[in-house]
Amino acid sequence: MEAYDATNADRYLLRFGPDEELVEALVGWVAMRGGRATVRGTGAFQSSVVADVDGEERKVSGAEAISISGVVAGGAAQLRVTLLRGMQPIGGTLVSATALGADLEVFVLDPDEEAEVSAPTTAASASPGWGDVAAASAAAAQAKPAATGGAPSWAEVAAASQTAAAQPAPRTKKRRKPKPQEPLFQPDPLPGQKQKDLSYLEEPQPEIGDFVLHKQFGKCKVERIGEDGGLVIKTAGGRRRAIKLTVLEVLPPHEDNQGRMVYPVQPRRR
């Protein structure tokens, strides 16, 4: 396992437009900065190639990337991706992708400060390690008068080591970036891309186990809730359907004769 100090990592927001090669462009951009980077984001792909755990590659066309995360280092990218094509999730390692649109948050480590983080130091009362003994030996050799002409004794080294262990380690100052009260960057919508309608969040929200009353499907049980306002509902006949609250308006609920919460839905007026 490797650990890196990311205290002073630089944060960037990369936006990819239609027909851009996401993986290739991302690797090249990080390489120009001479370091390594961690990546996370979302997007939509015109086409992509995803590899499973056995390395078998699969081409996926027209999918939404609901999760992109990983590391870029050494001229290569290790990106894990979860794609959604219709209602089918597809996961794996992203080999290549042609974007329809994507936003990535990239944290680039400063190559001058990209040092491995050592294990936590022990308390001052603990015995000094070999690094402390070596440093103390060098200090004792410099302190010994030149007239003696010999190397320091073990007693002198031990005494110097004890002194070095008793002294507190110097504290290094680290830059602290101010915590913004508001987001530093508000990305504009991609050309031809509509902003998400979040007005449905102000309406009554059905929970899993509740029922919705749909004009076409009738009274249906809510089985799954998505983050983008999508619901998977089960009809009285046992079939499952997917509906979007971004296009349907949720009306105040009522209880049916069995004590179940029922939320009527109707097409949203534009």
Q: What is the pLDDT of residues 159-217, one digit of tens each?
A: 666 666 666 656 655 555 555 555 545 556 666 655 555 565 678 888 999 999 998 99
Give 76's strand partners: 73
**Do 2 and 116 touch, CB atoms closer than 8 A?**
yes
Distance, CA of 243 to CA of 35 (rounded, Å): 44
> Would you call 211 exposed, middle or buried from its count of C-beta atoms within 10 A (0-12, 13-18, 19+)?
buried
Q: Report whether pLDDT(121) > 50.
A: no
CA dist 78 and 70 (Å) reads 6
CA distances from 3 to 118, 131, 177, 255 (A): 8, 21, 21, 55
pLDDT of residue 122: 46
**What's this model's pTM, rounded to 2 decimal places?**
0.42
> Does the structure show a pLDDT above 60 at 81?
yes
Which CATH class for the 9-109 domain? Answer: alpha beta
pLDDT at residue number 169: 59
In this structure, what DSSP letter does residue 31 have?
H
Band of pLDDT at residue 64, cut at 50, 70 and 90: very high
Q: Annotate 229-261 with b (16+ C-beta within 10 A) or e (fewer).
A: bebbbbeeeeeeeebebeebebeebeeeeeeeb
Least confident of 52-66, 71-85, 112-126, 188-202: 112-126
Residue 117 — pLDDT band, cuts 50, 70, 90?
Answer: very low
User: Is residue 228 predicted with pLDDT exceeding 90?
Assistant: no
- Cα 60 to the center of its chain, rounded Å: 23
Q: How far apart are CA 268 and CA 180, in angstroms?
A: 37
Residue 236 has pLDDT above 50, yes or no: yes
**What mean pLDDT is reported for the chain?**
78
Percent of the chain past pLDDT 70, that is, above it, reads: 63
Query: For residue 125, what pLDDT band results from cuts at 50, 70 and 90?
Result: very low
Please report how the helices 154-166 and 130-143 are oriented relative to each other, as an axis angle in degrees rounded to 10.
Answer: 110
For residue 225, is it left (φ>0), alpha (ψ between -120 and 50) or beta?
beta
Higher pLDDT, 134 or 258: 258
- Asked if pLDDT for residue 21 goes beyond 70, the answer is yes
Type of residue found at 207: E
Whose tokens are 């603990």? That residue is 126
- As a whole number of angstroms, the distance between CA 265 and CA 250 comes to 5
In the block, which residue shows the tokens 């040092």? Answer: 115
Every domain of the chain and the residues it spans: 9-109, 210-267
**Considering only CA atoms, which of 113, 114, 115, 106 is closest in space to residue 29?**
106
Checking if the pLDDT of 249 tops 80, the result is yes
Rounded CA-CA distance 124/248 in Å is: 65
Amino acid in the structure at residue 229: G
Among the residue ranges 49-53, 117-121, 226-230, the one predicted with the least confidence is: 117-121
